[in-house]
Amino acid sequence: MKTIAFIIQKEFKQIFRNKGMLRIIFILPLLQLIILSNAATFEVKNIRFAYIDNDHSSLSRALIEKFNASTYFNVLAHFSSESQANSSMLNGEVDVVLVIPQHFQRDLQNNKYQNLGVTINAIDGAAAGVENVYTNQIVQSFNKNLKVELLQPSDLITQPINIITIPSFWYNETLNYKTFMVPGILVLLVTMITLFLSGMNIVREKEIGTLEQINVTPIKKSEFIIGKLFPFWVIGMGLLTIGLIIAKLIFNVPMVGSLVLMYAYTSIYILVVLGIGLFISNFTDTQQQAMFIAWFFTVIFILMSGLFTPIESMPIWAQIVTEFNPVKYFVEVMRMVMLKGSGFMDILPQLSKTLLYALIMNGLAVWSYKKTS
Protein backbone atom coordinates (compact mmCIF):
# COMPACT_ATOMS: atom_id res chain seq x y z
CA MET A 1 0.00 0.00 0.00
CA LYS A 2 2.79 2.32 0.94
CA THR A 3 4.58 1.53 -2.32
CA ILE A 4 1.53 2.51 -4.31
CA ALA A 5 1.32 5.80 -2.45
CA PHE A 6 4.92 6.55 -3.37
CA ILE A 7 4.39 5.78 -7.04
CA ILE A 8 1.31 7.95 -7.07
CA GLN A 9 3.24 10.74 -5.43
CA LYS A 10 5.96 10.44 -8.06
CA GLU A 11 3.47 10.52 -10.91
CA PHE A 12 1.66 13.55 -9.57
CA LYS A 13 4.93 15.37 -9.09
CA GLN A 14 5.91 14.58 -12.65
CA ILE A 15 2.61 15.87 -13.98
CA PHE A 16 2.56 19.05 -11.95
CA ARG A 17 6.17 19.94 -12.64
CA ASN A 18 5.57 20.07 -16.38
CA LYS A 19 3.74 23.37 -16.56
CA GLY A 20 3.33 23.30 -20.34
CA MET A 21 1.75 19.90 -20.17
CA LEU A 22 -0.55 20.96 -17.36
CA ARG A 23 -1.94 23.72 -19.53
CA ILE A 24 -2.57 21.25 -22.32
CA ILE A 25 -4.29 18.83 -19.99
CA PHE A 26 -6.69 21.30 -18.42
CA ILE A 27 -7.01 24.49 -20.41
CA LEU A 28 -7.01 23.12 -23.95
CA PRO A 29 -9.92 20.71 -23.45
CA LEU A 30 -12.03 23.18 -21.51
CA LEU A 31 -11.43 25.91 -24.06
CA GLN A 32 -12.49 23.50 -26.75
CA LEU A 33 -15.59 22.57 -24.79
CA ILE A 34 -16.58 26.22 -24.56
CA ILE A 35 -15.83 27.13 -28.17
CA LEU A 36 -16.54 24.02 -30.16
CA SER A 37 -19.86 23.18 -28.57
CA ASN A 38 -21.21 26.15 -30.48
CA ALA A 39 -20.00 24.74 -33.77
CA ALA A 40 -21.78 21.42 -33.62
CA THR A 41 -25.20 22.11 -35.03
CA PHE A 42 -27.13 20.48 -37.83
CA GLU A 43 -29.69 23.21 -37.70
CA VAL A 44 -30.18 24.56 -41.20
CA LYS A 45 -30.67 28.30 -41.18
CA ASN A 46 -29.45 31.34 -43.08
CA ILE A 47 -29.99 29.42 -46.31
CA ARG A 48 -28.41 31.53 -49.02
CA PHE A 49 -31.19 31.98 -51.51
CA ALA A 50 -31.30 33.47 -54.99
CA TYR A 51 -33.97 33.61 -57.67
CA ILE A 52 -34.50 34.13 -61.36
CA ASP A 53 -37.78 35.84 -62.08
CA ASN A 54 -38.78 35.39 -65.71
CA ASP A 55 -42.34 36.52 -65.12
CA HIS A 56 -42.15 39.80 -63.19
CA SER A 57 -45.78 39.53 -62.19
CA SER A 58 -47.43 40.44 -58.94
CA LEU A 59 -47.73 36.74 -58.19
CA SER A 60 -44.03 36.00 -58.69
CA ARG A 61 -43.15 38.97 -56.51
CA ALA A 62 -45.52 37.77 -53.82
CA LEU A 63 -43.89 34.35 -53.85
CA ILE A 64 -40.41 35.83 -53.51
CA GLU A 65 -41.64 38.08 -50.73
CA LYS A 66 -42.80 34.94 -48.95
CA PHE A 67 -39.26 33.53 -49.05
CA ASN A 68 -37.89 36.86 -47.96
CA ALA A 69 -40.15 36.85 -44.94
CA SER A 70 -39.12 33.39 -43.84
CA THR A 71 -36.51 33.16 -41.13
CA TYR A 72 -34.76 30.26 -42.83
CA PHE A 73 -33.94 31.98 -46.09
CA ASN A 74 -31.64 34.89 -46.76
CA VAL A 75 -32.51 36.33 -50.13
CA LEU A 76 -29.09 37.24 -51.43
CA ALA A 77 -29.39 37.96 -55.10
CA HIS A 78 -31.50 37.75 -58.20
CA PHE A 79 -30.05 36.61 -61.46
CA SER A 80 -31.20 37.31 -64.98
CA SER A 81 -29.99 34.04 -66.46
CA GLU A 82 -29.47 30.42 -65.52
CA SER A 83 -25.79 30.58 -66.37
CA GLN A 84 -25.26 33.35 -63.85
CA ALA A 85 -27.03 31.30 -61.22
CA ASN A 86 -25.01 28.22 -62.08
CA SER A 87 -21.73 30.00 -61.82
CA SER A 88 -22.71 31.47 -58.48
CA MET A 89 -23.60 28.03 -57.18
CA LEU A 90 -20.32 26.61 -58.47
CA ASN A 91 -18.59 29.33 -56.54
CA GLY A 92 -20.42 28.21 -53.43
CA GLU A 93 -22.16 31.55 -52.94
CA VAL A 94 -25.76 30.34 -52.98
CA ASP A 95 -27.46 27.20 -51.70
CA VAL A 96 -30.89 27.38 -53.29
CA VAL A 97 -31.96 28.93 -56.58
CA LEU A 98 -35.61 29.43 -57.46
CA VAL A 99 -36.53 29.74 -61.13
CA ILE A 100 -39.88 31.31 -61.87
CA PRO A 101 -40.89 30.50 -65.45
CA GLN A 102 -42.33 32.94 -67.97
CA HIS A 103 -46.10 33.45 -67.91
CA PHE A 104 -46.13 32.06 -64.40
CA GLN A 105 -49.22 33.94 -63.30
CA ARG A 106 -51.16 33.61 -66.55
CA ASP A 107 -50.58 29.87 -66.86
CA LEU A 108 -51.49 29.30 -63.26
CA GLN A 109 -54.81 31.02 -63.74
CA ASN A 110 -55.54 29.07 -66.91
CA ASN A 111 -54.28 25.64 -65.98
CA LYS A 112 -54.70 25.76 -62.22
CA TYR A 113 -51.25 24.35 -61.77
CA GLN A 114 -47.81 25.61 -62.53
CA ASN A 115 -44.34 24.18 -62.15
CA LEU A 116 -41.59 26.01 -60.37
CA GLY A 117 -37.90 25.29 -60.75
CA VAL A 118 -35.85 24.79 -57.61
CA THR A 119 -32.15 23.96 -57.67
CA ILE A 120 -30.46 22.96 -54.45
CA ASN A 121 -26.76 22.47 -53.85
CA ALA A 122 -26.97 18.88 -52.62
CA ILE A 123 -23.39 18.03 -51.72
CA ASP A 124 -24.49 17.97 -48.10
CA GLY A 125 -27.40 15.61 -48.73
CA ALA A 126 -28.98 15.98 -45.33
CA ALA A 127 -28.98 19.77 -45.40
CA ALA A 128 -30.33 19.67 -48.95
CA GLY A 129 -33.19 17.49 -47.73
CA VAL A 130 -34.07 20.01 -45.06
CA GLU A 131 -33.79 22.93 -47.49
CA ASN A 132 -36.16 21.08 -49.77
CA VAL A 133 -38.65 20.63 -46.95
CA TYR A 134 -38.53 24.32 -46.08
CA THR A 135 -38.98 25.33 -49.71
CA ASN A 136 -41.98 23.04 -50.04
CA GLN A 137 -43.48 24.36 -46.83
CA ILE A 138 -43.30 27.91 -48.07
CA VAL A 139 -44.76 27.05 -51.46
CA GLN A 140 -47.52 25.04 -49.84
CA SER A 141 -48.58 27.78 -47.53
CA PHE A 142 -48.45 30.11 -50.53
CA ASN A 143 -50.76 27.68 -52.34
CA LYS A 144 -53.28 27.87 -49.53
CA ASN A 145 -53.53 31.63 -49.83
CA LEU A 146 -53.80 31.30 -53.58
CA LYS A 147 -57.02 29.41 -53.26
CA VAL A 148 -58.58 32.27 -51.45
CA GLU A 149 -57.25 34.96 -53.77
CA LEU A 150 -57.73 33.40 -57.14
CA LEU A 151 -60.97 31.49 -56.67
CA GLN A 152 -63.72 32.79 -58.83
CA PRO A 153 -67.25 32.95 -57.45
CA SER A 154 -68.33 30.27 -59.86
CA ASP A 155 -66.01 27.76 -58.25
CA LEU A 156 -67.73 25.67 -55.68
CA ILE A 157 -65.81 25.21 -52.53
CA THR A 158 -65.71 21.71 -51.18
CA GLN A 159 -63.92 21.53 -47.92
CA PRO A 160 -60.74 19.45 -48.22
CA ILE A 161 -59.87 16.92 -45.60
CA ASN A 162 -57.22 18.03 -43.17
CA ILE A 163 -54.99 15.92 -40.98
CA ILE A 164 -53.46 18.19 -38.39
CA THR A 165 -50.16 17.26 -36.83
CA ILE A 166 -48.99 18.67 -33.57
CA PRO A 167 -45.30 18.14 -32.96
CA SER A 168 -44.17 18.11 -29.39
CA PHE A 169 -40.48 18.02 -28.62
CA TRP A 170 -39.81 16.46 -25.27
CA TYR A 171 -36.84 17.31 -23.05
CA ASN A 172 -35.73 20.08 -25.42
CA GLU A 173 -38.64 22.16 -26.60
CA THR A 174 -36.57 24.80 -28.32
CA LEU A 175 -34.45 22.22 -30.14
CA ASN A 176 -31.35 23.72 -28.62
CA TYR A 177 -28.31 21.95 -30.00
CA LYS A 178 -25.96 22.85 -27.22
CA THR A 179 -27.78 20.83 -24.59
CA PHE A 180 -27.24 17.86 -26.88
CA MET A 181 -23.63 18.52 -27.81
CA VAL A 182 -22.06 19.78 -24.60
CA PRO A 183 -22.38 16.46 -22.70
CA GLY A 184 -21.10 14.60 -25.76
CA ILE A 185 -18.08 16.80 -26.35
CA LEU A 186 -17.24 16.71 -22.66
CA VAL A 187 -17.23 12.91 -22.84
CA LEU A 188 -14.90 13.07 -25.78
CA LEU A 189 -12.43 15.38 -24.12
CA VAL A 190 -12.29 13.30 -20.95
CA THR A 191 -11.71 10.21 -23.08
CA MET A 192 -9.01 11.75 -25.23
CA ILE A 193 -7.01 13.19 -22.36
CA THR A 194 -7.06 10.03 -20.28
CA LEU A 195 -6.35 7.77 -23.25
CA PHE A 196 -3.45 9.81 -24.61
CA LEU A 197 -1.86 10.31 -21.22
CA SER A 198 -2.08 6.69 -20.15
CA GLY A 199 -1.11 5.41 -23.59
CA MET A 200 2.04 7.48 -23.64
CA ASN A 201 3.03 7.17 -20.04
CA ILE A 202 4.61 3.75 -19.66
CA VAL A 203 6.00 3.66 -23.17
CA ARG A 204 7.77 6.93 -22.41
CA GLU A 205 9.55 5.35 -19.48
CA LYS A 206 10.40 2.47 -21.78
CA GLU A 207 11.84 4.79 -24.40
CA ILE A 208 13.85 6.87 -21.97
CA GLY A 209 15.02 3.75 -20.21
CA THR A 210 13.70 4.49 -16.74
CA LEU A 211 11.25 1.62 -16.89
CA GLU A 212 14.08 -0.83 -16.48
CA GLN A 213 15.09 0.89 -13.27
CA ILE A 214 11.60 0.46 -11.92
CA ASN A 215 11.46 -3.13 -13.07
CA VAL A 216 14.44 -4.11 -10.97
CA THR A 217 12.87 -2.69 -7.80
CA PRO A 218 10.69 -4.88 -5.58
CA ILE A 219 7.56 -3.02 -6.75
CA LYS A 220 4.91 -5.55 -7.75
CA LYS A 221 3.30 -5.51 -11.14
CA SER A 222 -0.14 -4.66 -9.79
CA GLU A 223 1.20 -1.96 -7.48
CA PHE A 224 3.04 -0.34 -10.34
CA ILE A 225 0.03 -0.34 -12.63
CA ILE A 226 -2.35 0.97 -10.00
CA GLY A 227 0.12 3.67 -9.07
CA LYS A 228 0.55 4.65 -12.70
CA LEU A 229 -3.10 4.77 -13.58
CA PHE A 230 -4.59 6.31 -10.48
CA PRO A 231 -3.35 9.87 -11.21
CA PHE A 232 -4.94 9.78 -14.64
CA TRP A 233 -8.15 8.52 -13.17
CA VAL A 234 -8.11 11.53 -10.86
CA ILE A 235 -7.40 13.87 -13.77
CA GLY A 236 -10.30 12.38 -15.73
CA MET A 237 -12.71 12.85 -12.84
CA GLY A 238 -11.40 16.38 -12.30
CA LEU A 239 -11.97 17.26 -15.94
CA LEU A 240 -15.48 15.87 -15.78
CA THR A 241 -16.24 18.01 -12.74
CA ILE A 242 -14.95 21.23 -14.29
CA GLY A 243 -16.70 20.34 -17.54
CA LEU A 244 -20.01 19.81 -15.77
CA ILE A 245 -19.67 23.14 -14.02
CA ILE A 246 -19.02 24.83 -17.38
CA ALA A 247 -21.98 23.00 -18.89
CA LYS A 248 -24.21 24.29 -16.13
CA LEU A 249 -22.89 27.85 -15.83
CA ILE A 250 -22.10 28.74 -19.43
CA PHE A 251 -24.41 26.57 -21.46
CA ASN A 252 -27.16 26.14 -18.92
CA VAL A 253 -27.52 22.47 -19.81
CA PRO A 254 -30.28 20.93 -17.74
CA MET A 255 -29.13 18.30 -15.29
CA VAL A 256 -32.25 16.36 -14.62
CA GLY A 257 -30.74 13.11 -13.49
CA SER A 258 -28.68 12.01 -10.56
CA LEU A 259 -25.13 13.34 -10.30
CA VAL A 260 -24.15 10.35 -8.19
CA LEU A 261 -25.13 8.02 -11.01
CA MET A 262 -23.13 10.06 -13.49
CA TYR A 263 -20.01 9.99 -11.34
CA ALA A 264 -20.43 6.30 -10.56
CA TYR A 265 -20.65 5.49 -14.24
CA THR A 266 -17.73 7.75 -15.15
CA SER A 267 -15.50 6.22 -12.52
CA ILE A 268 -15.96 2.82 -14.15
CA TYR A 269 -15.74 4.21 -17.65
CA ILE A 270 -12.37 5.87 -17.11
CA LEU A 271 -11.03 2.48 -16.03
CA VAL A 272 -11.91 1.14 -19.48
CA VAL A 273 -10.03 3.96 -21.18
CA LEU A 274 -7.01 3.60 -18.92
CA GLY A 275 -6.99 -0.14 -19.56
CA ILE A 276 -6.93 0.49 -23.29
CA GLY A 277 -4.17 3.05 -22.89
CA LEU A 278 -2.05 0.71 -20.80
CA PHE A 279 -2.62 -2.11 -23.24
CA ILE A 280 -1.40 0.09 -26.09
CA SER A 281 1.59 1.11 -24.00
CA ASN A 282 2.54 -2.52 -23.44
CA PHE A 283 2.49 -3.44 -27.09
CA THR A 284 4.53 -0.56 -28.44
CA ASP A 285 8.17 0.39 -28.19
CA THR A 286 8.06 4.11 -28.91
CA GLN A 287 5.75 6.95 -28.08
CA GLN A 288 5.27 7.50 -31.79
CA GLN A 289 3.81 4.04 -32.28
CA ALA A 290 1.66 4.38 -29.20
CA MET A 291 0.30 7.68 -30.43
CA PHE A 292 -0.55 6.37 -33.86
CA ILE A 293 -2.55 3.56 -32.38
CA ALA A 294 -4.23 5.83 -29.85
CA TRP A 295 -5.05 8.27 -32.63
CA PHE A 296 -6.47 5.52 -34.82
CA PHE A 297 -8.81 4.31 -32.12
CA THR A 298 -9.78 7.80 -31.01
CA VAL A 299 -10.93 8.80 -34.48
CA ILE A 300 -12.96 5.59 -34.74
CA PHE A 301 -14.34 6.05 -31.24
CA ILE A 302 -15.39 9.62 -32.01
CA LEU A 303 -16.98 9.06 -35.37
CA MET A 304 -18.68 5.78 -34.45
CA SER A 305 -20.08 6.94 -31.12
CA GLY A 306 -23.33 8.46 -32.21
CA LEU A 307 -22.04 11.77 -30.91
CA PHE A 308 -22.25 13.64 -34.21
CA THR A 309 -24.10 11.30 -36.53
CA PRO A 310 -26.86 8.89 -35.54
CA ILE A 311 -25.94 5.22 -35.05
CA GLU A 312 -29.36 3.98 -36.18
CA SER A 313 -28.65 5.18 -39.71
CA MET A 314 -25.49 3.13 -40.03
CA PRO A 315 -25.53 -0.21 -41.83
CA ILE A 316 -26.07 -3.20 -39.54
CA TRP A 317 -22.43 -4.36 -39.57
CA ALA A 318 -21.32 -0.89 -38.51
CA GLN A 319 -23.88 -0.86 -35.72
CA ILE A 320 -22.35 -4.09 -34.47
CA VAL A 321 -18.92 -2.46 -34.56
CA THR A 322 -20.22 0.39 -32.38
CA GLU A 323 -21.09 -2.17 -29.69
CA PHE A 324 -17.36 -2.36 -29.01
CA ASN A 325 -17.01 1.37 -28.66
CA PRO A 326 -16.88 2.48 -25.02
CA VAL A 327 -17.39 6.12 -26.01
CA LYS A 328 -20.79 5.20 -27.42
CA TYR A 329 -21.96 4.00 -24.01
CA PHE A 330 -20.56 7.03 -22.23
CA VAL A 331 -22.24 9.41 -24.66
CA GLU A 332 -25.53 7.58 -24.29
CA VAL A 333 -25.39 7.49 -20.53
CA MET A 334 -24.43 11.14 -20.16
CA ARG A 335 -27.20 12.28 -22.42
CA MET A 336 -29.78 9.99 -20.88
CA VAL A 337 -28.99 10.85 -17.30
CA MET A 338 -28.34 14.56 -17.77
CA LEU A 339 -31.13 15.43 -20.16
CA LYS A 340 -33.83 12.88 -19.49
CA GLY A 341 -33.16 11.91 -15.92
CA SER A 342 -32.85 8.22 -16.70
CA GLY A 343 -32.30 6.12 -13.59
CA PHE A 344 -30.12 3.20 -12.64
CA MET A 345 -32.39 0.63 -14.24
CA ASP A 346 -32.51 2.54 -17.53
CA ILE A 347 -28.75 2.64 -17.93
CA LEU A 348 -28.17 -0.86 -16.58
CA PRO A 349 -27.37 -2.33 -20.03
CA GLN A 350 -24.72 0.32 -20.71
CA LEU A 351 -23.39 0.10 -17.18
CA SER A 352 -22.96 -3.65 -17.22
CA LYS A 353 -21.31 -3.65 -20.63
CA THR A 354 -18.90 -0.95 -19.50
CA LEU A 355 -18.09 -2.87 -16.34
CA LEU A 356 -17.39 -6.01 -18.35
CA TYR A 357 -15.25 -3.98 -20.74
CA ALA A 358 -13.28 -2.53 -17.84
CA LEU A 359 -12.61 -5.97 -16.39
CA ILE A 360 -11.48 -7.41 -19.71
CA MET A 361 -9.28 -4.48 -20.73
CA ASN A 362 -7.55 -4.15 -17.38
CA GLY A 363 -7.14 -7.90 -17.15
CA LEU A 364 -5.47 -7.90 -20.56
CA ALA A 365 -3.32 -4.92 -19.64
CA VAL A 366 -2.04 -6.42 -16.41
CA TRP A 367 -1.49 -9.79 -18.09
CA SER A 368 0.47 -8.29 -20.96
CA TYR A 369 2.69 -6.12 -18.79
CA LYS A 370 6.00 -7.87 -18.36
CA LYS A 371 8.64 -6.89 -15.88
CA THR A 372 11.27 -8.45 -18.07
CA SER A 373 11.99 -7.25 -21.55
Partner 1 sequence: MKRFIGFAKKEFYHIFRDKRSLFILFGMPIVQILLFGFAITNEINNVDIAVLDHSKDATTLEIINKISASKYFSIKQIVEGEADIESIFKKGKIKAILSFENEFNKKLIKENKATIQIITDATDPNTANTISNYVNAILQNYQKELNIDTKNTYQIIPQTRMAYNPELKSVFMFVPGVMTIILMLVSAMMTSISITREKELGTMEILLVSPIKPFQVIIGKVVPYIFLSVINAIVIIVLSIFIFKMPVQGSLLLLAFESVLFIISALALGILISTISATQQTAMMISLMGLMLPVILLSGFIFPISSMPFALQVISNIVPAKWFIIIVKGIMLKGVGLQYLWKETSILLGMTVFFIGISVKKYKIRLE
Task: Mark the segment that binds partner 1 (CB under 8 A) among 128-136, 243-251, 266-274, 352-360.
Answer: 128-136
Is position 46 an interface residue for partner 1 (rule: CB under 8 A)? yes
Is position 284 an interface residue for partner 1 (rule: CB under 8 A)? yes
Number of residues that bind partner 1 (CB under 8 A): 126
Task: Mark the segment that binds partner 1 (CB under 8 A) among 150-158, 211-219, 228-236, 357-365.
Answer: 150-158
User: Burial level of 243, CB count in 10 A (0-12/13-18/19+)?
Assistant: buried
CB of 237 to partner 1, least distance (A): 18
Task: Mark the segment that binds partner 1 (CB under 8 A) among 38-46, 223-231, 235-243, 270-278.
Answer: 38-46
C-beta separation of 121 from 95 below 8 A: yes
d(CA 299, CA 27): 21
C-beta separation of 33 from 189 below 8 A: yes
C-beta separation of 300 from 325 below 8 A: yes
Is position 244 an interface residue for partner 1 (rule: CB under 8 A)? no
Is position 278 an interface residue for partner 1 (rule: CB under 8 A)? no
Q: What single-letter DSSP state applies at residue 346?
A: T
Instruction: Give per-residue burial for 46-79: e unless 16+ CB within 10 Å, then b.
Output: ebbbbbbbbbebebbeebbeebeebebbbbeeeb
CB of 161 to partner 1, least distance (A): 5
E strands, 219-309, in order: none
CB of 39 to partner 1, least distance (A): 5
Kindly tell me which of 101 and 223 has the beta carbon lying closer to partner 1.
Answer: 101
47-53 and 73-79 beta bridge pairing:
parallel
Q: Name residue 363's amino acid.
A: G
Indicate which single residue of 11, 52, 114, 236 sits in contact with partner 1 (rule: CB under 8 A). Answer: 114
Is position 218 an interface residue for partner 1 (rule: CB under 8 A)? no
Q: Which residues lie below 8 Å from residue 38, measured CB to CB, with a gap of 6+?
A: 178
**Cα distances (angstroms) measured from residue 337 to each of 160, 277, 334, 357:** 45, 27, 5, 21
Site for partner 1 in 70-99 (CB under 8 A): 89-92, 95
Letters for 7-36 (x = contact with partner 1 by CB under 8 A, - = none) are -------------xx--xx--xx--x--xx
Kindly tell me which of 246 and 359 has the beta carbon lying closer to partner 1.
Answer: 246
Q: What single-letter DSSP state applies at residue 156?
A: P
C-beta separation of 224 from 302 below 8 A: no
Letters for 49-68 (x = contact with partner 1 by CB under 8 A, - = none) are --------------x-----
Kindly tell me which of 65 and 285 has the beta carbon lying closer to partner 1.
Answer: 285
Q: In what order do the strands lie in the sheet with 47-53?
A: 73-79, 47-53, 96-100
CB of 361 to partner 1, least distance (A): 20
Neighbour tally for 26: CB within 10 Å:
15
d(CA 199, CA 274): 8
Kindly tell me which of 45 and 220 has the beta carbon lying closer to partner 1.
Answer: 45
Site for partner 1 in 343-362 (CB under 8 A): 343, 346
Task: Report the half-sphere exposure of 113 (CA within 13 A, side-chain side).
Answer: 2
Task: Mark the segment that binds partner 1 (CB under 8 A) among 44-52, 232-240, 262-270, 357-365.
Answer: 44-52
Is position 293 an interface residue for partner 1 (rule: CB under 8 A)? yes
Is position 204 an interface residue for partner 1 (rule: CB under 8 A)? yes
Site for partner 1 in 159-198 (CB under 8 A): 159-173, 175-177, 179-180, 185, 188-189, 192-193, 196
In SS3 terms, 14-34 reads as: HHHHCHHHHHHHHHHHHHHHH
Task: Mark the segment that binds partner 1 (CB under 8 A) among 146-154, 240-248, 264-272, 351-359.
Answer: 146-154
CB of 218 to partner 1, least distance (A): 28
Site for partner 1 in 327-346 (CB under 8 A): 332, 335-336, 339-343, 346
